Structure 1
Amino acid sequence: MRIAIDVMGGDHAPHAHIESALSAAAQWPDTHLILVGNPEVIQPLLGNAAPANISIEPALEVIGNDDEPVKAVRRKSDSSMVVAGRLVKDGKAAAMISSGNTGALMAVGLLVVGRLKGIERPGLAPMFPTLDNVGVLALDMGANMDAKPEHLLQYAMMGSLYRNKVHGIEKPRVGLLNVGTESAKGNELTKTAYELLENAPINFIGNVEASAVLDRQCDVLVCDGFSGNILLKAMEGAASTIFKLLRQELTSSFTSKLAAGVLKPNFRNVRRKMDYNEHNGAPLLGVNGLVIKGHGSSDAVAMKTAIRQARTAIGNGLIAALTDEFNGK
């Protein structure tokens, strides 16, 4: 299998991306990694002993975080992100991974890779960590700010297939993000979507409140991009604030520092469970190829996690399953 990596996108590019590629290439010799970016930057970091299952695809432009997404994709045709998308479009790579500009990656998915037939709006689907370490796949988390009930139905079906094919869950429980668990709760969007999900060929369990997400009351959480992105940022902010408060309290006195020393392994385990590095790699479901968004701050560990997810999705035929589902085959 061939996976294209945009090594120029992200806070720690290109060093972290190349480090992860070297590690992944050694661990998975059946996977060919295509490093997309400026060869003059990539080659010195690869060194002279690059394995045979790593190659470089030249791309001399970079889409930055401040670039307007659609304009950048159209004007910077030689950017690493666009070139990686073209490799997927042309069948030269089975997947692409980028930690760059999120909006631009959405545009690459739609304008370069192309939308999957039968899908109206692709959705971004990151994993939320949960107390039991299994995680919840949530979509849409910001690819589309507005949604119709039919879009939420498609998110539910795509998310259910993803959890089955990639994570091996036989009948993923699908929940609808809402302000209450009662079927009559919510706005017009969620009320109408509830009826559609009830009659869909999925394991729909009803409405799920935001407070229950980390308890894994469902395996797939469905919502519109506006609500989903707020939920995502709120959880990230809450986790960051809690760790800051703990750090302040545990370093406030000599006694606290002693206690912190004893509990350090426990705190490390908690941080690991909440760390995006352990869950990195959000697929853009609904495009005609595997497009994976890495966290902007992805380090080498996080990028390798994204590569592993891409391998699993490719190996289990995710895109073929989605194509069959929405083309009625």
Structure 2
Amino acid sequence: MKIGLDIMGGDFAPKAAVLGAIAAQKALSADQKIVLFGDKAQALPFLTEEGVSPDDFEFVHTTEMIGMGEHGTKSVLQKPNSSISLGFQYLKDGKIDSFASAGNTGAMLVGAIFSVKPVPGVIRPAVATNVPKLKSGFGIMLDVGANADCKPEVLAQFGMLGSLYAEHVYHIQNPKVGLMNLGEEEEKGNVLTQSTFPLLQKSDINFIGNIEGRDLFNDKADVIVCDGFTGNVMLKLAETFYILTLKKGFKDEFFDRFNYEQYGGSPILGVNAPVLIGHGISSPEAIKNMVLLSRTMVETQFVDKIKEAFK
């Protein structure tokens, strides 16, 4: 297994990415290797400081990178030798089994869609994230930013993608799928949610109906379906809880699970290979966990499960 990692993306690159890769490699088996995409000359000093041999990794050297503020589509097209573009080329060619980056989100979305492409039958891939639950564990919410505007058919597919992810990657049996809405009743909501409800009802997943914002952190649903605009607002609000507890000096196990570092990265569900996007401020711990989640997605053959479901 070869896990691709962009070391040029993120606010603290390449140091955070390299240190995260070192930590992750220690948890991998002998037949699992991390392939680093980026400037090898910048990475070597961090390896030396940690007493790690460069031979522990494979390198795809490039000095070109896509900045966090660059336009996603244009940058991928105009910078074919960037770490992100090369990573997706390797993924497309089957030279790596997965690819992850804490870099430009737009470039990662564009790269995934135009290189490995969506699974046949998937209208729009979605970005998923973990949502801590009050009692224990967490649920899955999607979409959280890739699709600000959605059609009912797209939201219905998000329900299937999220259900498959919860079941096969996190081993949640018969996951409960809820549609985020402003009321529990079937007729509540806007045109989008009202039209999506019957589609989810007819699907083969365990759809439990509408849920409200108050249900985000309880056990009512394992998978929360929403458009990317709504999901991104809820995600950013949830992330703030952890920051506020730190500022207030408040220590609590539940709020500690809002720390993004524990989950590493957010997968793009519905494309033909495992692709993960990390937070721009990703620390080495977050990078490590993103790499390990990449491994899990490869080991569980999750993409094959999606292909089978969307035949």
Written as runs of structure 1 = structure 2, the 5 A alignment for 1:1-329 is: 1-29=1-29, 30-47=31-48, 49-50=52-53, 52-244=55-247, 246-247=248-249, 267=251, 269-326=253-310, 328=311
2: CA distance, partners of 1:52 / 1:39 = 12
Bigger drift between 52-61 and 268-277 goes to 268-277
Instruction: Kindly indicate whether the alpha-carbon contact (under 8 Å) linking 1:176 and 1:223 is maintained by their aligned counterparts in 2.
Output: yes
2: CA distance, partners of 1:234 / 1:76 = 34
1: CA distance, partners of 2:102 / 2:135 = 27
SS in 2 for 1:171: coil
C-alpha displacement at 1:59, in angstroms? 2.3
Q: Deviations over 1:91-123 (max 9, x none)?
A: 111111111111111111112222221111110
Size of the aligned set, in residue pairs, is 308
1: CA distance, partners of 2:59 / 2:157 = 36
Q: Give the letter aligned to residue 274 of structure 1.
A: F
2: CA distance, partners of 1:242 / 1:217 = 25
Structure 2, unaligned runs of 5 or more: none
SS in 2 for 1:167: coil
Q: Deviations over 1:114-146 (max 9, x none)?
A: 222111111000111222331111111110111
C-alpha displacement at 1:172, in angstroms? 0.7
SS in 1 for 2:169: helix
Identity %: 36
2: CA distance, partners of 1:268 / 1:17 = 28
2: CA distance, partners of 1:51 / 1:65 = 27
C-alpha displacement at 1:243, in angstroms? 4.3
2: CA distance, partners of 1:239 / 1:49 = 33
Instruction: Kindly indicate whether the alpha-carbon contact (under 8 Å) linking 2:101 and 2:276 is maintained by their aligned counterparts in 1.
Output: yes
2: CA distance, partners of 1:86 / 1:312 = 22
Instruction: Kindly indicate whether the alpha-carbon contact (under 8 Å) linking 1:5 and 1:36 is maintained by their aligned counterparts in 2.
Output: yes
2: CA distance, partners of 1:16 / 1:239 = 21
- Report the structure, 1 or 2, having the larger helix content: 1
SS in 1 for 2:257: helix
C-alpha displacement at 1:52, in angstroms? 4.5
Bigger Rg, structure 1 or 2: 1
1: CA distance, partners of 2:244 / 2:173 = 36
1: CA distance, partners of 2:105 / 2:309 = 27
Q: Please give the TM-score of this superposition, normalised by the length of structure 1.
A: 0.89
1: CA distance, partners of 2:14 / 2:54 = 18
Q: Give the letter aligned to residue 157 of structure 2.
A: Q
C-alpha displacement at 1:37, in angstroms? 0.3
Bigger drift between 69-78 and 23-32 goes to 23-32
SS in 1 for 2:304: helix
Q: Give the letter aligned to residue 11 of structure 1.
A: D
C-alpha displacement at 1:271, in angstroms? 4.7
C-alpha displacement at 1:46, in angstroms? 2.1
C-alpha displacement at 1:53, in angstroms? 4.4
Instruction: Kindly indicate whether the alpha-carbon contact (under 8 Å) linking 2:139 and 2:222 is maintained by their aligned counterparts in 1.
Output: yes
2: CA distance, partners of 1:194 / 1:164 = 22
C-alpha displacement at 1:82, in angstroms? 1.2
Change (3 A) 1:65 1:219: same
SS in 2 for 1:189: helix
Q: Please give the TM-score of this superposition, normalised by the length of structure 2.
A: 0.94
C-alpha displacement at 1:171, in angstroms? 0.4
Instruction: Kindly indicate whether the alpha-carbon contact (under 8 Å) linking 1:82 and 1:112 is maintained by their aligned counterparts in 2.
Output: no
Change (3 A) 1:216 1:280: farther
C-alpha displacement at 1:60, in angstroms? 2.1
SS in 1 for 2:287: helix
C-alpha displacement at 1:160, in angstroms? 0.6
Instruction: Kindly indicate whether the alpha-carbon contact (under 8 Å) linking 2:241 and 2:258 is maintained by their aligned counterparts in 1.
Output: no
C-alpha displacement at 1:73, in angstroms? 0.9
Q: Give the letter aligned to residue 279 of structure 2.
A: H
Q: Give the letter aligned to residue 129 of structure 1.
A: P
1: CA distance, partners of 2:82 / 2:123 = 27
